[in-house]
Amino acid sequence: MRRCLPILAVIFFFVLLLIHPARPCASQETLRLDEAIASALEYSDGARIARAKVDEAQAKIDEISSKKKMRILVAGTGGYNTNPIDEKIGKGAFDEAFADFIDHPEWGEAIEELMPIPSKDVSILQGDDWFYGLTLTAVQPLSQQGQINTGINVARAQTSLAEAEAASIEAEIRYGVEELYYGLLVADRKIVTAKTRIAAAGAQLRHVQNAVEVGEALPLAASGLSAELMKARADQVEAAAEHDRFRLALNDLVGRPAEQPTRVSQDLPPSPPPQTFETYLASAQEYNPELLSARRTESMATLGEQAADQAKTPDINAFASLVLQGGLPVIPRQFGLIGLTFAWSAVDFGEREAQLRQSKALHEQAQANASRICKKIEREIRTELANLRHADALVDLATQARTFRLEALQLAADLVEEGMELDTKELEAQAELAQAESDLLGAKVNRRLVLARLERLAGSAQAPTGAPSDQGQ
């Protein structure tokens, strides 16, 4: 029993290592994947810009829709007139006209008494020094309704395009967080594996060194074990550096301080069930952000072609105006106007035709681009499904290898307990088991990332729940 105590102590030490991976901290909270994704989406400047573009596009719809309705325009002016109208008939202006009647026997005396005619200056038109004018006009577009409806459809297509771009950015952020999160998880496990190998190699080296001292082993054996120990320590340093790279990148993405320690959950979140090629492709045809963007661009090009054709229509508006003015005597102080306005470019020297040709060319480009993206997505789905088959095979092999390593550890423990092997044999088996578990975790992470890429291509990638339930594939 006394001989087994050191072995039990070593086993207990390695169990603690597996439970508490690299850089444990009692007060450090564990970061779940769904929390990391939510923080990244909230913190990302790119995501905020994309959401603001959606709001901008929606506001554009309201702006263009308002042009269909009547507009009320108010205009006014006022000022000082340096030369106001002052038209008058001067005193005696008509005397010459009545001069021939002065000698008339009956009227002459009366006319002479009336002169001068007029007896004083008579004002006909008298303007004011100060004047003002106020116009209230209601304008209703008539012939432009078709163009406005086309503009509304363009704005709606732009909104859909902005939404697709926002979804693409969010999907990219989700996948980036998953890559860093899983990379940090694998790096933690590599550190644990390296520490286990260091402990096993150190114990083996001490045993061989003792054997060399008593002449039971050659120095060559000790040199080989020393090299293995250095290799394990180098792997630990490399894993720690990898851990720091992933931690810094993840902290930056989720908005944490760069040097803040980050501990991720050791359980993989549940994987979405794999689908068939037809299912992924059908989903991508409807929801893939890149394909949606291409199709919205094609729709906008079609509408642009329609708008270029509608530009040939004259601009006709109905209007009604009420005018109030003062200081200008030749114009009524209050009057109304009602009628139509008309504007049309009768000759544009081919400008409209050139615009129409440009719109048709843009439409052809958008069609070709949408077709290209559709083929690319189909090709990428096939590639990722092939990667998924390979990932499934690697997970199966890694699971079997872990099972064999567990059996080997149990056999080694039994042999050590029976005194048939040294305790270093059990330590070596523990190191091999730790490596097998690290390989299994890496295979599971690789499979999970392949599924994430498929979900991203299908346009249905959602933030994982983070529930610790994916212990198998």
Contact present, 196 and 430 (Cβ < 8 Å): yes
Contact present, 172 and 211 (Cβ < 8 Å): no
Looking only at the bridges linking them, the beta strands covering 30-31 and 263-264 are parallel
pLDDT digits (tens, 9 = 90+) for 408-435: 888 888 787 777 767 777 788 888 888 8
Q: What is the pLDDT of residue 388?
A: 95
Q: How far apart are CA 442 and CA 242, in angstroms?
A: 14
Q: Which residue has the tokens 């209601």?
A: 138
Q: How far apart are CA 184 and CA 225, in angstroms?
A: 30
Residue 170, in any domain of the structure: yes
Contact present, 340 and 243 (Cβ < 8 Å): no
Q: How far apart are CA 40 and CA 176, in angstroms?
A: 10
Q: Which residue has the tokens 């503009």?
A: 151
Q: What is the pLDDT of residue 95?
A: 65
pLDDT digits (tens, 9 = 90+) for 26-73: 345 788 888 888 899 898 888 899 899 899 989 988 988 998 899 999
Alpha helices in 218-264, H assignment, sequence order: 219-254
CATH number for the domain spanning 359: value is 1.20.1600.10
Contact present, 342 and 313 (Cβ < 8 Å): no
Q: Which residue has the tokens 């939510």?
A: 38
Q: What is the residue range of 298's domain?
A: 33-71+142-458
Residue 427, in any domain of the structure: yes
By CB atoms closer than 10 A (0-12, 13-18, 19+), residue 309 is middle
Q: What is the pLDDT of residue 16?
A: 43
Q: What is the pLDDT of residue 462?
A: 39
> What proportions of the chain, in percent to the nearest 5, are helix, strand and coil?
65, 10, 25
User: Mean pLDDT, consecutive 10-residue segments, the chain of 473 residues?
Assistant: 43 43 50 88 89 90 89 91 77 68 68 70 74 91 87 88 89 91 91 88 77 69 81 89 90 87 81 90 90 87 82 87 85 89 79 80 87 93 95 94 89 78 78 89 93 89 38 42
Q: How far apart are CA 301 and CA 363, in angstroms?
A: 5
**Among the listed residues 385, 386, 432, 44, the one whose alpha carbon sits nearest the alpha carbon of residue 200:** 432
Q: How far apart are CA 353 and CA 343, in angstroms?
A: 19
What six digits make up the tokens of 445?
Answer: 């992470």
Amino acid occupying residue 397: L
Amino acid occupying residue 298: E
Amino acid occupying residue 61: I
Contact present, 155 and 61 (Cβ < 8 Å): yes
Half-sphere exposure of 71 (CA within 13 A, CB side): 14
Q: How far is CA 42 from CA 173, 284, 453, in A?
A: 11, 26, 22
Q: How far apart are CA 453 and CA 465, in angstroms?
A: 17
Q: What is the pLDDT of residue 426?
A: 79
Residue 129, in any domain of the structure: no
Q: How far apart are CA 433 and CA 15, in angstroms?
A: 12
pLDDT digits (tens, 9 = 90+) for 118-145: 777 767 777 777 888 999 999 999 888 8
Residue 439, in any domain of the structure: yes
Q: How far apart are CA 448 and CA 466, in angstroms?
A: 13
Would you give the DSSP letter of residue 90? P
Q: Mutual orientation of helices 219-254 and 145-213 as an angle, nearest 10°?
A: 160
What six digits make up the tokens of 71?
Answer: 């507009």
Residue 464, in any domain of the structure: no
Neighbours of 141 (CB within 10 A): 17
Would you give the DSSP letter of residue 101? G
CA angle 25, 28, 31 (to 5 degrees): 125
Maximum CA extent, the chain: 174
Residue 469, in any domain of the structure: no
Residue 426, in any domain of the structure: yes
How many domains is the chain built from? 1
**Among the listed residues 57, 468, 457, 31, the one whose alpha carbon sits nearest the alpha carbon of residue 250:** 31
Beta bridge partners of 324: 134, 334
Would you give the DSSP letter of residue 137? E
Q: What is the pLDDT of residue 101?
A: 67
**Among the listed residues 176, 162, 156, the one whose alpha carbon sits nearest the alpha carbon of residue 49:** 162
